[in-house]
A and B are shown apart, each in its own frame.
Chain A
Amino acid sequence: MNIDFISLVQISIAAVFINNFVLSRFLGLCPFFGVSKKLSSAVGMGMAVIFVMTVASMITWIIFHYLLVPYEVDYLRTIVFILVIASLVQLVEMTLQKFSPVLYDALGIYLPLITTNCAIMGVAVLNAGKNDFTQEPYSFIESLVNGIMSGIGFTLALVLMAGIREKLELANIPRPLQGLPIAFVTAGLMAIAFLGFSGLNFFK
């Protein structure tokens, strides 16, 4: 298997900036608004998402291409992927608890939330479908890179948002806009900034 580094770089940049999971694909919005009130918890959540996303994109790729496609049961994709992700999150939680209590203390409370994070399911489904570059499913390495980089893109957006929201706490906001509405406006402004990256045209 030959690895094309140029295409890996393209996938990375597209996943972090152009098709940022939160700000242009609308995936993982619930944790994005739920956990972005404090910078420290945003970093913890981001790390947990990167970790689970990377492992999930590897495992779902293997299951999809070596189990579902050869036996022609790819319509079971949704059920199989969500089960894999749910059990994976459980497994990661138990492993961390046993072998790395420090990491468990940092990430522990965010892990159960990840099962219903649509970003994880989204990356698995996207990896199984046609990609934006060559209109063919990603190879294993490409899926892996896409998983890591999508997680990093999610974390980037989450951390930026948390930084802004910490400042917003001190601002004088009209009463109807307080809380979620102003967070949505902030996200909209960030999304406009990220629209600028769509000028980087890699897609064929």
Chain B
Amino acid sequence: MIKEELKRGIIAENPILVLALGLCPALAVSTSLQNGLGMGCAATFVLICSNIIISLIKKWIPEKVRIPCYIVIIATFVTIVELTLKAYFPELNNQLGIFVPLIVVNCVILGRAEAFASKNNLGRSIIDGFVMGLGFTLALCILAIIREVLGSNKLWGLKVFPGFRPMTIFILAPGGFFTIAFVMAMINYFRQKKEGGQS
């Protein structure tokens, strides 16, 4: 069952590359692997915690004000992340900038709260938060690796290819759009090939 859940979160319903949710942080912070991984971990932490709380108190949340309730719960955990990053990882905090407070409007987190945690029990919500967070982080890392290698010829701050002239445009805004376009197109290509082979 865990294996199926993992497959669902990482491949079939990958939040960024298949569902196209949470695009803003995905494109903005994927300029280097360190930033991508940091953002992925922060968002995963918020996602798991908010899923836990929401699935525990879903009975007491009135239907009409559920969205503000979810937002307050999510914002609380985002504040925890913000203060922790400021205290222990000031450099990462500076790199991520306004995208740390903006985790609160990440549609992946609110989407999972609304679509999953508010309808399922605690155990399943934790697993869902974990696999969705993992899918988000992995997609972020893939984008970050491509952009960092092509854009600055580095990976985790270390040089990769000697004699390769980096294309700066990949760490600027346009490169982010191009990278995600080609990763998505590759996924579509393989999916269509698989479907074409079956029929």
Partner of A184, one of B76, B172, B181: B181
For the complex, count residues of B whose C-beta is within 8 A of A: 41
Supply 5 A–B pairs (Cβ within 8 Å), ascending by A. Answer: A29-B24, A81-B101, A121-B105, A188-B176, A188-B178
- Assuming the contacts A121-B105, A188-B174, asked whether A26 and B181 have C-beta atoms less than 8 A apart, the reply is no
Interface residue ranges of B65-83 to A (CB < 8 Å): 67-68, 71-72, 75-76, 78-79, 82-83
Beta-carbon nearest neighbor of A86 in chain B = B68
CB-CB under 8 A from A176, the residues of chain B are 185-186, 188-189, 192
How many A-B residue pairs lie within 8 Å, measured between CB atoms? Answer: 122
CB-CB under 8 A from A125, the residues of chain B are 98, 101-102
- Contact between B192 and A24 (Cβ–Cβ < 8 Å)? no
**Complex formed: what's the CA distance from A24 to B173 in Å?**
5
- Assuming the contacts A176-B189, A177-B185, A188-B174, asked whether A82 and B104 have C-beta atoms less than 8 A apart, the reply is yes
Instruction: Give A193 Cβ to nearest chain B Cβ, in Å.
Output: 9
Partner of B71, one of A26, A86, A192: A86
- Assuming the contacts A28-B24, A33-B20, asked whether A78 and B177 have C-beta atoms less than 8 A apart, the reply is no
Is residue B92 within 8 Å, beta carbon to beta carbon, of the partner chain? no
CB-CB under 8 A from B186, the residues of chain A are 176
Mostly helix, strand, loop or mixed at chain A's interface?
helix
- Contact between A77 and B177 (Cβ–Cβ < 8 Å)? no
CB-CB under 8 A from B189, the residues of chain A are 176
Mostly helix, strand, loop or mixed at chain B's interface?
helix
Instruction: Give B15 Cβ to nearest chain A Cβ, in Å.
Output: 12
Is residue A163 within 8 Å, beta carbon to beta carbon, of the partner chain? no
- Contact between B101 and A29 (Cβ–Cβ < 8 Å)? no
- Contact between A129 and B173 (Cβ–Cβ < 8 Å)? no
Further pairs besides A30-B107, A33-B20, A83-B71: 8, Cβ < 8 Å:
A26-B23, A78-B79, A82-B72, A116-B110, A121-B104, A126-B98, A188-B175, A192-B174
Is residue A49 within 8 Å, beta carbon to beta carbon, of the partner chain? no
CB-CB under 8 A from B180, the residues of chain A are 184
**Complex formed: what's the CA distance from A82 to B101 in Å?**
10
CB-CB under 8 A from B178, the residues of chain A are 184-185, 188
Is residue A146 within 8 Å, beta carbon to beta carbon, of the partner chain? no
- Contact between A78 and B184 (Cβ–Cβ < 8 Å)? no
6 tightest A-B contacts by CB?
A188-B177, A184-B181, A26-B28, A176-B189, A191-B174, A29-B23
**Complex formed: what's the CA distance from A178 to B189 in Å?**
10
CB-CB under 8 A from A183, the residues of chain B are 181
Interface residue ranges of B37-64 to A (CB < 8 Å): none
- Contact between B177 and A191 (Cβ–Cβ < 8 Å)? yes
Instruction: Give A5 Cβ to nearest chain B Cβ, in Å.
Output: 27
Contact code string A104-141 (vs B, CB < 8 Å = 1, else 0): 00000000000111100110011001000000000000
CB-CB under 8 A from B88, the residues of chain A are none
Partner of A187, one of B83, B177, B184: B177
Is residue B161 within 8 Å, beta carbon to beta carbon, of the partner chain? no
Instruction: Give A23 Cβ to nearest chain B Cβ, in Å.
Output: 6
**Complex formed: what's the CA distance from A178 to B188 in Å?**
9
